[in-house]
Amino acid sequence: MQGVWDLIRLIFPYAIVFTIPLLITSLGGLFSERSGVVNIGLDGFMVFGSFVSAYTIKLLMPVLPNGDLAVWIGLLAATVAGAVFSLLHSFACVTLNANQVISGTAINMIAYAVTVYIARTITGSGNITIVHGIARTDIPVLSQIPVLGDLFFKSTYATTWVVLLILVVFAFILYRTAFGLRLRACGEHPHAADAAGINVYRTRYIAVAISGAFSALGGAAILVTYSGEFNGNVAGLGFLALAALIFGKWKPLGILGATFFFGFAATIANVSQVIPFFTNLVDKSPFWAPLTLKAFPYVVTLIALVFFSKTTQAPRASGLPYDKGQR
Amino acid sequence: MTPKVDPAGRTRRWTIPKKYVNSLFAVLLGLIAGAFFMLAIGRNPFVGYFYLFKGGVMNLKYIGQTLATSTPLILTGLSVAFAFRTGLFNIGAAGQMLMGGLTAIGLALTFEHMLPRGILLAVIVLGSIVAGGLWALIAGVLKARFNVNEVVATIMLNWIAFWTVKYGVYAFFRDPQQETQSKAIDAVASLKAPWLTSLFPGSYINLGLFLSLIALVIIALVLDKTTLGYELKAVGFNRSAAEYAGIKVNRGVILSMTIAGMLAGLAGATYWTGYSSNMQIDTSSLPSQGLDGIAVALLGTNSPVGVLFAAVFFGMLQSGKGFMTAVTGIPPEIADTIIATVIYFAAAAVLIERVLDAWRKRRASKALAATKKGGEE
């Protein structure tokens, strides 16, 4: 029993660190899809954010007296750049009524190609390494709480708290403000929303910008916490965030649970090589044990989709271009 | 070359179908974007493009290399295009290709010293086709039986395939010397043929090229000359109308997805047991041919012939980039950038159409005005 507790205490902080970028990216996807624009470009936005933050931090680090400041400016720059980059997606999907899946695919491809192209020009290798990320800190009083303190408040990254704050604020915006109501209306029944005087195009532009900003922040969070290097991809985490969005039924609390669930599984898979409890398991079945852990999020998402199929959970108008003329 | 427009606006000396015009404009805009990116890092785009294309065709080695790079693109492009014709978006070509490749490598390593070459190659090729087909069948069944969006399903299946290959190769086929890749297959199990390699010495060209062309012909025949193709296209045009006409829509969806998966699975065999001779597992991204296949299908307007041209064009960019980088120092990702931009503009075809329409209208009205002024007939 003591062994299991130690294990959980050991894995938990890693799981949280892994979860946070997924969570913020998933939240971004949620805003886009709830407004009616499917965004499978989340992965590309993450890569883009990772690139922008890496480059910004690399530029600022020697100039600024304080390394932490450079990191925070890097995160901010990624967020803003993500919002700007997302205009490419919203222009195609909202203004031109293009196929949203194709546009999202193009976004991914552009992000993978262009970021490495620029990085290679700058550093020669296509990778950008930052020497300084965010330091882990214990939260003063709270980390002393037995059990919970160990799990949630010891050696945490500040980004974790920022992202959780964003989640709370944006969940509030989505459900408790006029803007949130309008946004959801655009995703469920854009013609009715339009009839009620809501500017569907503008709302969707804003929603897609939010998704671009958040996913770029997610990519940047990976960089400043556990990766430390931009290398042209985020190991498909954007698609994992997409799975979490679906598994979490397009709801903020749902994606919080889903991302943590997925993050925990992935973390166990990642550390299974070093923790004795799992190495035994992996030695016994080198194929099925790690595969089960890694493929698990995608499999449960597929299963969930089968169950959802009776009662559609997805925003009704997501994926459909809005054509005023069809009202 | 200005086409004449008579007062009734009828006569044109030549016309290109609108969809091809859009593709050509998407390519043009993609190339312009590529030029912009070359300029942005202070390089001369004309020099860049010269070496990019020269690197694709300058001698037999590079021509062979272009064809070898095009081979899996023809198949993944065909896969995406075929599904598109039935109204399905197969974003899972990468995963199907991985499963086909894993099966091909597995069969090759298991049977390479047991079977004669002809049978061995047949087993490998058929195995990859079956594996890719079965992998896509899952998405087809989910779509037909449970109405699960095939885009989401195939994305999930891509990553399940990714991890299956990663741990499958590691657990069963890894190279004892280098744990990040599978053992290399023997020459007897490879789709590379000595006579073909000697035609294009130094390239990775392999029999997969002929397999892809055969697949292309078969798909073209199925689409245009069979009842099945007619039914699948009918489902793509209008699902409800097809159903009303007595076509079994669900069966069509499953079948179309499976055939698409078979094509992508074959791409896996041509790539890992033809172009390459082992599977690398130290990667953290899906094989690029999956997404490139979408670009190929879009640019080729989902027709087999279009797919062939688009695949060879992209294959040329991909195989020429190494030479261009070596000579000019422009990063090789320029090729991917161009492909990515082309697919964006293909998606935004409406923009091109609008501009062209506006241009045509203005020209037509000008011509009309000119004839009125001139003749008063």
Q: What number is the ipTM of this complex?
A: 0.89
Task: Look at residue B377 in the predicted model and tell me its pLDDT.
Answer: 44
Mutation site, B23, B344, B351, B356, interface A, largest A CB count within 10 A: B344
Q: Is B47 on the interface with A (CB under 8 A)?
A: no
Q: Which of B153, B171, B291 sits opposite A302 (nearest CB)?
A: B153
CATH number of the domain located at residue range(s) B18-362 in this protein: 1.10.3470
What pLDDT band is residue A135 in, cutting at 50, 70 and 90?
confident
A91 at B interface, C-beta within 8 A: yes
Mean pLDDT for A64-89 is 92
- What integer pLDDT is reported at residue B239 of this predicted model? 86
Window 311-340 of B: residues touching A by CB (8 A cutoff) are: 331, 333-334, 336-337, 339-340
Distance from CA of A252 to the nearest CA of B (A): 20
Predicted local confidence at residue A152, as pLDDT: 80
Q: Which of A69-73, A230-234, B72-76: highest mean pLDDT?
A: B72-76
Q: Distance between CA A86 and CA A102 in Å, rounded?
A: 14
Average pLDDT for A277-287: 77
Cβ contact (<8 Å) for A96 and B286? no
Distance CA A24, CA B184 (A): 42
Give the N- to C-terminal CA distance of chain A in Å, as an integer.
63
Spatial neighbors of B20 by CB under 8 A, at least 6 apart, are: B301, B306
For B348, the closest of A96, A286, A295 (CB atoms) is: A96
- Which pLDDT does position B229 carry in this prediction? 93
Domain ranges of chain B: 18-362
Sequence-distant (6+) residues with CB within 8 A of A252 are A27, A30, A167, A170, A171, A174
Q: What residues of chain B lie within 8 A of the CB of A38, using their CB? A: 151
DSSP class of residue A126 equals S
B93 touches chain A (CB under 8 A): no
Query: Closest-CA residue in chain A for B169?
Result: A287
| Cα-based torsion angle of the residue sequence B184, B186, B192, B197 in order, rounded to the nearest 10 degrees | 100
Chains A–B, number of C-beta pairs less than 8 Å apart: 143
Q: Which amino acid is at B55?
A: G
Contact: A103, B167; criterion CB under 8 Å = no
Q: Please give the DSSP secondary-structure letter assigned to residue A128.
A: E
Q: Quick check: B89 contacting A, CB < 8 Å?
A: yes
Q: Do A302 and B294 touch (CB under 8 A)?
A: no
The C-alpha atoms of residue B82 and residue A140 are separated, in whole angstroms, by 60
Class of domain A2-326: mainly alpha
Element (H, E) at B218: helix B208-225
Collapsing DSSP to helix, strand or coil, A132 comes out as: coil
Chain B, 208 to 247: residues with Cβ < 8 Å from chain A are none
CA distances from B169 to A272, B98, B125, B185, B290 (A): 18, 11, 18, 13, 20
CB contact under 8 A, B331 and A117: yes
Tell me which residue in B147, B168, B348 faces A287 most closely, judged by beta carbons: B168
pLDDT of A279 strictly over 80: no
User: Binning pLDDT at 50, 70 and 90, where does residue A105 land?
Assistant: very high
> Once rounded to an integer, what is the mean pLDDT over residues A143-152?
78
Which chain A residues are closer than 8 Å to B148 by Cβ? 302, 305-306, 309
> Which residues from chain A sit within 8 angstroms of residue B163, using beta carbons?
290-291, 294-295
Q: What is the pLDDT of residues A23-48, one digit of tens each?
A: 999 999 999 999 999 999 999 999 99
pLDDT (tens digit, 0 to 9) for every residue of chain B, 377 residues total?
445 454 445 555 556 677 778 888 889 999 999 999 999 998 999 999 999 999 998 899 999 999 999 999 999 999 999 999 999 999 999 999 999 999 999 999 999 999 999 999 999 999 999 999 999 999 999 999 998 889 989 999 999 999 999 999 999 999 998 888 999 999 999 999 999 999 999 899 999 999 999 999 999 999 999 999 999 999 988 888 998 998 999 999 999 999 999 999 999 999 999 999 999 988 888 999 999 999 999 899 899 999 999 999 999 999 999 999 999 989 999 999 999 999 899 888 777 777 777 888 888 888 888 777 665 44
